[in-house]
Amino acid sequence: MTVPEPQRLDLPRTPPLVLRGRTFDASSPAVMGIVNRTPDSFFAGNRHADLDSAKRALEDAVEGGADIVDVGGVRAGQEGEQVSAAEEIDRVVPFLAHARETYPDVVLSLDTWRSDVAAEAGRYGVDLVNDTWQGHDPELVSVAARIGAGVVCSHTGGLPPRTDPVKVTYGPDPLDVVRDVLRTLAQGAARALAAGIPRERILVDPTLDFGKTTTHSLEVLRHTSEVAALGYPVLQALSRKDFIGESLGLEADQRLEGTLAATAVAAWLGATVFRAHDVRATRRAVDMVAVIRGDKAPIRAVRGI
């Protein structure tokens, strides 16, 4: 019997992300805890319209191992109330002020597509602008540069904010959606560079569910390594999303295990930043993948010695 010679793994790796003096890469993946300052988030477990509730969620996220805390003031989908820019500012700014005073070393991220919201939030030490809607506001990237923040470049298939996908198609080839994601993310990152944002502060996010069917999201997830090959840190925002729910036939409150499985696959394929409702579980999952990949040493390795 012929036994194959084992080969060293050639796994995808991206350049580091550097925010607030902290470096995140394959050996030190980042968990981005979610705090939704909304009464109508799709996941009932993360509705923190009350500021005191949001403060407790912040504390839980940091204690659970979050490196980044991402706060949003508007539900992503089209259901729920309409929120003006002024109301969005009223929701996120008091939280950001408290978070920066309480946890000066935690990286703070703002989930918004509005440049005026980002400009106001910049006064409170925002480190990252999470633009989930593919540069819908063309001034947002310039504002991010001006306030010294990094930016997340996303892919939504060109849909405007708070638009749920309906009859979305990218072409007859199943890989057409991957091609569109790669092209759009490369263009977004180029705009961020041109606006003056340093390369190490630019994240690319294939943005599963947004502008995509479940089939599209699964195809893009399988090709995370191609997203990593663009040469920027990769954010995967997988937590309890509909593509997981439809894959397993589960509602949002039952999608943790599916989320962790998708997270492990994305981490293996080169993603290094993970937006998560379930911080502690995600922290353990991505650290374990980093150890299996050989990017991170075990905390203890004494068995059999």
What is the number of domains present in the chain? 1
- State CA 92 to chain mean position distance: 18
Q: Which of 7-11, 15-19, 26-30, 71-75 has the lowest mean pLDDT?
A: 7-11
Count other Cβ atoms within 10 Å, centred on residue 69: 25
- Assess if residue 62 is contained within a domain: yes
Kind and range of the H or E element at 107? strand 107-111
Q: Record the tokens describing residue 291, joined without a space.
A: 């150890």
Q: How far apart, in whole angstroms, are the C-alpha atoms of residue 61 and residue 226?
A: 30
First to last CA, the chain: 32
* More confident position, 184 or 39: 184
Kind and range of the H or E element at 295? none
What's the confidence (pLDDT) of residue 18? 98
Q: Is 194 exposed, middle or buried (0-12, 13-18, 19+ CB in 10 A)?
A: exposed
Q: How far apart, in whole angstroms, are the C-alpha atoms of residue 237 and residue 30?
A: 12
Q: Is the dihedral of CA 99, 100, 106, 111 positive or negative?
A: positive
CATH number, domain with residue 259: 3.20.20.20
At residue 184 the predicted structure's pLDDT band, cuts being 50, 70 and 90, is: very high
How much of the chain exceeds pLDDT 90, in percent?
92
- Mean pLDDT confidence for 246-270: 98
Q: Which of 27-36, 41-50, 119-128, 250-259 has the lowest mean pLDDT?
A: 41-50
* More confident position, 283 or 79: 283
Residue-wise pLDDT tens digits, 272-289: 999 999 999 999 999 999
Residue type, 21: G
Q: Which of 4-18, 56-70, 188-202 has the lowest mean pLDDT?
A: 4-18
What SS3 class is residue 114? Answer: coil
Q: Is the pLDDT of residue 124 over 80?
A: yes
Count other Cβ atoms within 10 Å, centred on residue 123: 11
Q: Which of 69-78, 97-106, 236-245 has the lowest mean pLDDT?
A: 69-78
Residues 6+ apart with CB under 8 A from 124: 93, 96, 97, 100, 108
- Assess if residue 15 is contained within a domain: no
Count other Cβ atoms within 10 Å, centred on residue 8: 6
The answer to whether 23 and 17 have CB atoms below 8 angstroms apart is yes
- Assess if residue 52 is contained within a domain: yes
What's the confidence (pLDDT) of residue 41? 85
Q: What are the beta bridge partners of residue 202?
A: 151
Domain range for 124: 23-293
- Assess if residue 13 is contained within a domain: no
Q: How far apart, in whole angstroms, are the C-alpha atoms of residue 230 and residue 209?
A: 21
- Mean pLDDT confidence for 242-250: 98
Q: Are strands 22-24 and 17-19 parallel, antiparallel or unpaired?
A: antiparallel
Count other Cβ atoms within 10 Å, centred on residue 84: 10
Mean confidence (pLDDT) of the chain: 96
What's the confidence (pLDDT) of residue 194? 98
Q: Give the predicted TM-score (pTM) of the model.
A: 0.95
* More confident position, 7 or 73: 73
Q: How far apart, in whole angstroms, are the C-alpha atoms of residue 18 and residue 16?
A: 6
Q: Is the pLDDT of residue 43 over 90?
A: no
Which residue reads 């729910």 in tokens? 245
Kind and range of the H or E element at 206? none
- Assess if residue 81 is contained within a domain: yes
What's the confidence (pLDDT) of residue 81? 82
Q: How far apart, in whole angstroms, are the C-alpha atoms of residue 97 and residue 114?
A: 19
What's the confidence (pLDDT) of residue 7? 86
- Assess if residue 32 is contained within a domain: yes
How much of the chain exceeds pLDDT 70, in percent?
100
- Assess if residue 14 is contained within a domain: no
At residue 304 the predicted structure's pLDDT band, cuts being 50, 70 and 90, is: very high
What's the confidence (pLDDT) of residue 1? 85
- Assess if residue 256 is contained within a domain: yes
Q: Record the tokens describing residue 157, joined without a space.
A: 């298939």
Q: How far apart, in whole angstroms, are the C-alpha atoms of residue 7 and residue 179?
A: 30
